Amino acid sequence: MSDLLALCRAQCARYPLLAAQDLVKALYQATFGCGHLVADPAAARARLIEEAEQAARSPAVPAPVEPLGARFCRVHLRALPDIGLSADTLFRLFERSARTSGDGMDAFLARLDALARWIDDGTLSLDAAASRAFLNAYRAAGCPATHHSDAFRQAYAPAYRVIDASYVPFLGVFAAIDRLLAADRPVIVAIEGGSAAGKSSLAARLQGIYGCNVFHMDDFFLRPHQRTPERFAQPGGNVDVERFAAEVLCPLQSGKPFSYRPFDCHTMGFLPPVPVQPHRLSVVEGVYSMHPALAGAYDCSVFLGIDAETQRARILARNGEQMLARFLSEWIPLENAYFAHTQAASRCSLRLPAN
């Protein structure tokens, strides 16, 4: 319960005029997230955009992102211009976060018990009698979602949305994309980094949020006749940058429908062509995406860092012991030589630590 007490104390410090009702609301959000608020997506989106416009005229908030335990957080609408995030993107994050399952009613009831104890024994400095009366009535009502207290709303004019905390490390990426998309032209983003750094996971997030096309560098490894000692000696030479440029980047820049041929390393042959309809946003993910022969095509690039210990653990969990050995002996040394020679990380627009 130490994390829960830390959350309650943080709430009391940020909002000195809060009541037990406001702590219950924070605990409810920390437990269940925001799923109960997106029954009508169109109405929820319109409401968020309206609130964001109103919040833009209100005083600044102490911090744009307010943690609610490990799983969820609040993003304050007043801070959207400071973050650079559009209200539309926040709504999509909010809507997708509604699918995150919470901890359940039993966990919530245990947290209410702890809250009552901390108020009764003075650990939290709230009016004990008024707090107990509220908690008893709240339990009797079946522990529903609740509003902030009148005093809280008058003092702090809350305007925020609850989202899955796993999105928070990438808010800067979403903001950079939103700024580029605001220019109303096609945008191409590269996600670079070592094996198991989370590149494909971030690309999948972006696809879910923006509905973008995603292209994988793994589909462009060398064909058998290209796998020569001379080619592998080149930093980044084990990916077919020439074919990727010809089949993906050039057609993307034309803005017309096209198709490309993924190469399958298991069969050492091409898979059926993949048809592509242009979208406003396209994402290229994978090691070697920032190869000097390709980097000029991107409007934004993201480097995901990863330390060796985390990388090893993730590859082992994902691919097993046998494949881990190949990563360590073959592929990771090639990646590291490429990173060192091309300085890919320093050439990226955004650099994120291991996550």
- Using DSSP's 3-state secondary structure scheme, residue 39 falls into coil
Q: What is the pLDDT of residue 18?
A: 97
Kindly give, in sequence order, each residue whose CB lies less than 8 Å from that of residue 53, ignoring residues fewer than 6 positions away: none
* C-alpha dist (Å) from residue 147 to 26, 65, 110, 114, 126: 10, 20, 20, 20, 18
Q: What is the pLDDT of residue 1?
A: 67
Q: Measure the CA angle with vertex 236, ends 232 and 238; round to 5°.
A: 45
CATH number of 185-352: 3.10.20.70, 3.40.50.300, 3.40.50.12160, 2.40.160.40? 3.40.50.300
pTM: 0.92
| C-alpha to C-alpha distance for 83 and 115, rounded to whole angstroms | 33
Q: State the Rg of the chain over Cα.
A: 24
One pLDDT digit (tens) per residue for the chain, 355 residues: 679 999 999 999 999 999 999 999 999 999 998 876 777 889 989 999 999 999 988 888 889 999 998 999 999 999 999 999 999 999 999 999 988 777 889 999 999 999 999 999 999 999 999 999 999 999 999 999 999 999 999 999 999 999 999 999 999 999 999 999 999 899 999 999 999 999 999 999 999 999 999 999 999 999 999 999 999 999 999 999 999 999 999 999 888 999 999 999 999 999 999 999 999 999 999 999 999 999 999 999 999 999 999 999 999 999 999 999 999 999 999 999 999 999 999 999 999 987 7
Alpha-carbon dihedral of residues 166, 288, 180, 274, nearest 10 degrees? -90
Domain boundaries, the chain: 2-167, 185-352
Please measure the distance between the N-terminal and C-terminal CA atoms of the chain and give it in whole angstroms. Answer: 25
| C-alpha to C-alpha distance for 306 and 285, rounded to whole angstroms | 15
Whether the CB-CB separation of 255 and 278 falls below 8 Å is answered with yes
